[in-house]
Amino acid sequence: MNLREITGPEALKKVPAEQLNELCDDLRQAMLTRTAAHGGHVGPNLGFLEATVALHRVFNSPVDKIIFDVSHQAYPHKMLTGRMEAYLDEDKYDSISGYSEPSESPHDHFVIGHTSTSVSLACGLAKARDLKGEKYNVIAVIGDGSLTGGMAFEGLNNLGEQGGNAIVIFNDNQMSIAENHGGFLGSLQKLRETKGADPCNFFKALGLDYLYVDEGNDVHKLIAAFEQVKDIDHPVVVHVNTEKGHGYKYATENKEPWHWSMPWNLETGKMLQEFGESVHDRTAEWLLKRMETDGTLCVINAAVPIFGGFTKPRRARAGKQFVDPGICEEHAVAFSSALAKGGARPVWFVASTFLQRTYDQLSHDLAVNSNPAVIVVCANGLSAMNDVTHIGFFDIPMASNIPNLVFLCPSSEAEYFAMLDWALTQRARPVVIRMWERGNTPATIPVATDYADIGKFQVAHRGKKVALFGLGAFFPLAQEVAAKLRKKGLDPTVVNPRYAGDMDEALIADLANDHELVVTLEDGVIAGGFGEKVARVAAAHGLKVLVKGAPKKFEDRFDPKDLLTRAGLTVEKISADVLAHA
């Protein structure tokens, strides 16, 4: 079938019904070809392909509005809504994002990349429609683990009361990123076993109508089901039983690694590039060794075990000392706080972008109570994930301004492990540590073993006139700038601040005696961050301060190197600025 003829939902609706299976096969092949070359989400899109064809066959997008939760399963939707070329033409692979994106198409309504929000968004769109007296279908697609996030419950519960047209497609692929978790899996299984007839029905308990579709990868069955609920006058959940990775052998046989993949060989299923042991692996092995002598050490991962390096075999080795509560970061924090209170030693691994989901738990459940839970922030900084919904710039402003919570930024892998060791030994404070994700090059300054003197910066070199504060990942940058400035006749002080949120006021007061300029470098956004705190303390002494970091802006699909250049975070620019000011 010539996919180029499918220019949009109208064209799809003209395809003869008997050719729909062939169309699905061709869409699958095109999607796999692009994803294998480009990398991206594999299993979620393969599993939801038939359902997407059925949705666009039955509903009238963009008048009817389809909202994809996380939207990592929206590739087929993009193919069917005018963006087919991005899947067929190699030079257009990069013309689209990996998530829904209103700037690309009127068929996309929100930029989304975090889970469990689609039902709330659908609920709001439906309410706006009803207030305005308009008529259209609002459809939320959720699943693939997203239902374990509490906000999905909040949305469903509100929807059950709100009434009016709203259709929730629950994509039950029996997976999250890894295996799915939670007590409600048992009742979902019973619903599948009874073809939806089991009376103990989570969705009905929330006041929602319910329809079960057993063959969730059968496009014709799906069309029939969606036709049944189209234009419905009350909220309904369509529970669709799908196979994650459907139609691609490797992705169905081994679902976890095929959730998302770097480029691979379509025939063999082998990655094009081999990745060696990472800091995630070294972290997991370090913790597993520690578990041998500490039965209270407990690793927590909210549905992304790989952040802590906890592959399936390592999870088996950790046994009951590894907990995956599902996608529910808020619970993960309160749970960790209570583990610490109860005398265990919890360590939660989380991406910077998902730590954002827990501000209140960090503050109210953890920091106010000052329980010694440890949180390791992965995918942090300006060189981590680069989709606008997944950027790692905001963890410092978000978490480092919370009292009692110690926020540590290591300047090397050795220091990262030293901080982790200290954090898991002390019992006085909750500790957040940014994972060092820049390779295991040797530390260039002595690594401390004790970080209990909160806010005590490490002076790597005491010079004069100019001081360079290189926080965490940017400490080496500060060293490079210092080396360059030395060649220009300056003798800059170089500081490893270590603490993102607590200031070494004594050091800054002392520097004020023989320094004129302080430059701060941080691997994140400047608004609310480390440098502004230094500016507050230093400017009270009349020191001139230059705060360097990313501007307060959502960046999308950026090239990290380009971003660093634009932000003036290069040795050349920083040195030039220092020379201009000093």
114 is a site residue for a second copy (CB under 8 A): yes
CA 161 to CA 476: how far, in whole Å?
55
Task: In angstroms, give the least distance from the CB of 278 to a second copy.
Answer: 26
Q: Which stretch binds a second copy (CB under 8 A): 90-98, 219-227, 265-273, 546-554?
A: 546-554
Q: Strands across the sheet with 209-213, in order?
A: 65-68, 138-143, 166-172, 235-241, 209-213
For residue 81, CA distances in Å to 78, 104, 308, 338, 571 come to 5, 10, 38, 47, 45
Q: Please identify which residue in 63, 200, 262, 428 interacts with a second copy, judged by CB under 8 A.
A: 200
Structural contact between residues 39 and 261, judged by C-beta atoms closer than 8 angstroms? yes
Closest to a second copy by CB, 313 or 343: 343
Cα of 451 vs its chain's centroid, Å: 28
Instruction: Write the burial class of residue 317 (CB in 10 Å: 0-12 exposed, 13-18 middle, 19+ buried).
Output: middle
Q: Which stretch binds a second copy (CB under 8 A): 27-35, 144-152, 255-263, 478-486?
A: 144-152
568 is a site residue for a second copy (CB under 8 A): no
Helices 413-425 and 279-293, axial angle in degrees (round to 10): 30
CA 281 to CA 259: how far, in whole Å?
19
Q: Which stretch binds a second copy (CB under 8 A): 166-174, 213-221, 333-341, 481-489?
A: 333-341
Q: Quick one: CA dihedral 121, 111, 107, 222, positive or negative?
A: negative
47 is a site residue for a second copy (CB under 8 A): no
Task: In angstroms, give the least distance from the CB of 103 to a second copy.
Answer: 11
CA 484 to CA 217: how far, in whole Å?
61
Q: Please identify which residue in 360, 450, 491, 572 interacts with a second copy, judged by CB under 8 A.
A: 360
Task: In angstroms, give the least distance from the CB of 54 to a second copy.
Answer: 24
Q: Concatenated DSSP letters for 321-333?
A: GEE---S-HHHHH
Q: Please identify which residue in 154, 215, 281, 480 interacts with a second copy, judged by CB under 8 A.
A: 154
392 is a site residue for a second copy (CB under 8 A): no
E strands along 37-165, which residues? 40-41, 65-68, 138-143
Task: In angstroms, give the least distance from the CB of 421 to a second copy.
Answer: 20
Task: In angstroms, give the least distance from the CB of 512 to a second copy.
Answer: 11
CA 175 to CA 144: how far, in whole Å?
6
Query: How many positions of this chain bind a second copy (CB under 8 A)?
Result: 122
CA 389 to CA 517: how far, in whole Å?
36
Task: In angstroms, give the least distance from the CB of 151 to a second copy.
Answer: 5
Q: Which stretch binds a second copy (CB under 8 A): 19-27, 202-210, 483-491, 561-569?
A: 202-210
CA 56 to CA 287: how far, in whole Å?
48
Task: In angstroms, give the least distance from the CB of 57 to a second copy.
Answer: 24
Task: In angstroms, give the least distance from the CB of 445 to a second copy.
Answer: 27
Q: Which stretch binds a second copy (CB under 8 A): 170-178, 199-207, 220-228, 565-573?
A: 199-207
157 is a site residue for a second copy (CB under 8 A): yes
CA 548 to CA 400: how far, in whole Å?
17
Task: In angstroms, give the least distance from the CB of 63 to a second copy.
Answer: 13
Site for a second copy in 15-44 (CB under 8 A): none
CA 303 to CA 336: how far, in whole Å?
15
319 is a site residue for a second copy (CB under 8 A): no
Task: In angstroms, give the least distance from the CB of 391 to a second copy.
Answer: 10
CA 33 to CA 28: how far, in whole Å?
8
576 is a site residue for a second copy (CB under 8 A): no
Closest to a second copy by CB, 119 or 219: 119
182 is a site residue for a second copy (CB under 8 A): yes
386 is a site residue for a second copy (CB under 8 A): no
580 is a site residue for a second copy (CB under 8 A): no
Site string for a second copy, 284-303 (x = CB under 8 A): -----------xx-x-----
558 is a site residue for a second copy (CB under 8 A): no
Q: Which stretch binds a second copy (CB under 8 A): 16-24, 43-51, 54-62, 398-406?
A: 398-406
Residue entry with tokens 């960090």: 362
430 is a site residue for a second copy (CB under 8 A): no
CA 262 to CA 271: how far, in whole Å?
7
Q: Which two tokens stand for residue 181?
A: 């978790």
Q: Please identify which residue in 264, 394, 436, 474 interacts with a second copy, judged by CB under 8 A.
A: 394
Count other C-beta atoms under 10 Å from residue 395's C-beta.
Answer: 28
Which residues make Cβ contacts (< 8 Å) with residue 331, sequence separation at least 6?
Answer: 150, 302, 325
Site for a second copy in 84-103 (CB under 8 A): 102
Site for a second copy in 223-252 (CB under 8 A): 235
330 is a site residue for a second copy (CB under 8 A): yes
End-to-end CA distance of the chain: 68
Task: In angstroms, give the least distance from the CB of 409 to a second copy.
Answer: 16
Task: In angstroms, give the least distance from the CB of 417 to a second copy.
Answer: 23
CA 472 to CA 520: how far, in whole Å?
11
Task: In angstroms, give the least distance from the CB of 360 to a second copy.
Answer: 4
483 is a site residue for a second copy (CB under 8 A): no
Count other C-beta atoms under 10 Å from residue 572's C-beta.
Answer: 11
Site string for a second copy, 500-539 (x = CB under 8 A): -x-----------------------xxxxx-xxx-xx-xx
Q: Which stretch binds a second copy (CB under 8 A): 9-17, 18-26, 278-286, 324-332?
A: 324-332
Mark 63-84 as b/e (b = at least 16 C-beta within 10 Å): ebbbbbbbbbbbbbbbbbbbbb
205 is a site residue for a second copy (CB under 8 A): yes
361 is a site residue for a second copy (CB under 8 A): yes
For residue 18, CA distances in Å to 27, 242, 296, 332, 543 come to 16, 21, 59, 48, 75
